[in-house]
Chains A and B, each alone.
Chain A
Amino acid sequence: MRVGLLYSRIRRDEKLLLSELRDRGHEVLKVDVRDQQFGLDDAPEDLADCDVVVDRCLATSRSLYATKFCEAYGVPVVNSAETAETCADKVKNSLALSQAGVPTPATDVAFTKESAMESIETFGYPCVLKPVVGSWGRLMAKIDSKSAAEAILEHKATLGHYEHKVFYVQEFVDKPGRDIRVVATDGEPVAAMVRSSDHWLTNAAKGAETEAFELDAEAETLVKQASDAVGGGLLGVDLMETGDSYTVHEVNHTVEFKALNDAVETDVPAEVVDWLEAKAGAKQEVVV
């Protein structure tokens, strides 16, 4: 099959995917979105004949628009624009999970410092303030006191992009020093790991230690439900343990899996490419 890979930066995740695709004899076309022009009618030449396009844009904004254009041109793209749009925005992500009945942390959204402060006081301390767009634990604030809340709200309201004036306030989940990352393809778990840290943020990008994790039936069900809630695709579902159950705090749509691949015995890129082949319906068209 002919696979287009949208990118602007090649991380180890993309190298793993490229290697697996090439090893299987697929024709791989790397498409640097920085070089492209997306017109309203015709697909850029590089994308037109792809059996499937894989969005691996590092920038959320590029991911959102590039996938939208692919769909407008009739070029199959994973993940879909709908999934990208839902996952890229924490508000939409939380709403989708909640509406699907997936347990997710209690969340308020407020548009002024004053109303955000009311939410924070209602949640109590500590609680969490997050940017609606962002990754890798950046600009996340665990708020321990009223004075800290006032300072952070003031900074966000004064200095930030307009999106920082959308205050996303969330209950603090007292997780056991770790959270769970599951990579899944259309809701089927590929592999899972726990990310552990002494810090309240347990992102792999923040240096958390990783270890393979065996999902139980409840977690597998939640992964499927969370995936369906955001439109499916190749996803990173993040869960936290809450005593004898779980809560799903977010679903990631351009999931990074290099840390997971190192932590588990499963060959994650191979599983992903299996899924891509099935997705493209092109298993029999492999170019040798």
Chain B
Amino acid sequence: MAECVQCGADVTLHDDAEVGEIVDCTTCGAELEIVERAPPVLDRAPELEEDWGE
């Protein structure tokens, strides 16, 4: 369980969650990045950049 940095709600992470993965806060809808795994810490996800992709 981690805390949403935007609304403070609890966010449940999957067992196979990875640092660098993006998760959604189901309470406020914010996109969050997992920055620490144990204990879990979340931050706001980076915005889409023009050169992202394959």
Chain B, 3-52, CB within 8 A of any chain A CB: 16, 18-22, 33, 46, 49-52
Chain B CB within 8 A of A36 CB: no
Chain A contacts of B22 at CB under 8 A?
9-10
Chain A contacts of B51 at CB under 8 A?
59-61, 133-134
Most buried by A among B22, B49, B51, B54: B54
The residue from B33, B46, B54 contacting A252, defined by CB atoms under 8 A apart:
B54
Interchain pairs with CB closer than 8 A, number: 56
Q: Is B19 in contact with A134, judged by CB distance below 8 angstroms?
A: no
Q: Is B50 in contact with A161, judged by CB distance below 8 angstroms?
A: yes
Q: Is A136 in contact with B53, judged by CB distance below 8 angstroms?
A: yes
Q: Is B19 in contact with A10, judged by CB distance below 8 angstroms?
A: yes
Chain A contacts of B46 at CB under 8 A?
8-9
How extensive is the interface on chain A, given as a class? 20 to 34
- A-B CB contact pairs (8 Å), 9 listed: A9-B20, A30-B19, A30-B20, A59-B49, A133-B51, A135-B52, A135-B53, A252-B54, A254-B54
Compute how far the CA of A102 lies from the CA of B42 in the bound complex, rounded to whole angstroms.
46
Q: How far is the CB of A61 from chain B (nearest CB, A)?
A: 5
Q: Residue of B at shortest CB range from A235?
A: B54
Q: Is A253 in contact with B54, judged by CB distance below 8 angstroms?
A: yes
Q: How far is the CB of B12 from chain A (nearest CB, A)?
A: 17
Compute how far the CA of A252 lies from the CA of B54 in the bound complex, rounded to whole angstroms.
6
Known: A9-B22, A9-B46, A10-B21. A15 touches B16 (CB 8 A): yes
Q: How far is the CB of A252 from chain B (nearest CB, A)?
A: 4
Q: How far is the CB of B14 from chain A (nearest CB, A)?
A: 10
A positions within 8 Å CB-CB of B? 7-10, 14-15, 18-19, 30, 32, 58-61, 133-136, 138, 161, 205, 236, 252-256
Q: Is B50 in contact with A256, judged by CB distance below 8 angstroms?
A: no
Q: How far is the CB of A170 from chain B (nearest CB, A)?
A: 18
Q: Is the interface of B mostly helix, strand, loop or mixed?
A: loop
The residue from A8, A10, A133, A205 contacting B18, defined by CB atoms under 8 A apart:
A10
How extensive is the interface on chain B, given as a class? 10 to 19
Compute how far the CA of A242 lies from the CA of B46 in the bound complex, rounded to whole angstroms.
40
Since A10-B19, A135-B54, A161-B50 are in contact, a sample of 20 more A-B pairs with Cβ atoms closer than 8 Å, ordered by chain A residue number, is A8-B20, A9-B21, A10-B22, A14-B18, A15-B21, A19-B16, A30-B20, A32-B19, A59-B51, A133-B51, A134-B51, A134-B53, A136-B52, A136-B53, A136-B54, A138-B50, A254-B53, A254-B54, A255-B54, A256-B54
Compute how far the CA of A60 lies from the CA of B50 in the bound complex, rounded to whole angstroms.
9
The residue from A10, A15, A19, A58 contacting B53, defined by CB atoms under 8 A apart:
A58
Q: Is B54 in contact with A18, judged by CB distance below 8 angstroms?
A: no
Compute how far the CA of A102 lies from the CA of B35 in the bound complex, rounded to whole angstroms.
44
Chain B contacts of A252 at CB under 8 A?
54
Q: Residue of A at shortest CB range from B18?
A: A10
Q: How far is the CB of B41 from chain A (nearest CB, A)?
A: 14
Top 9 A-B pairs ranked by shortest CB distance? A135-B53, A10-B20, A252-B54, A60-B51, A10-B21, A10-B18, A135-B54, A136-B53, A58-B52
Q: Residue of B at shortest CB range from A257?
A: B54
Compute how far the CA of A9 lies from the CA of B53 in the bound complex, rounded to whole angstroms.
11
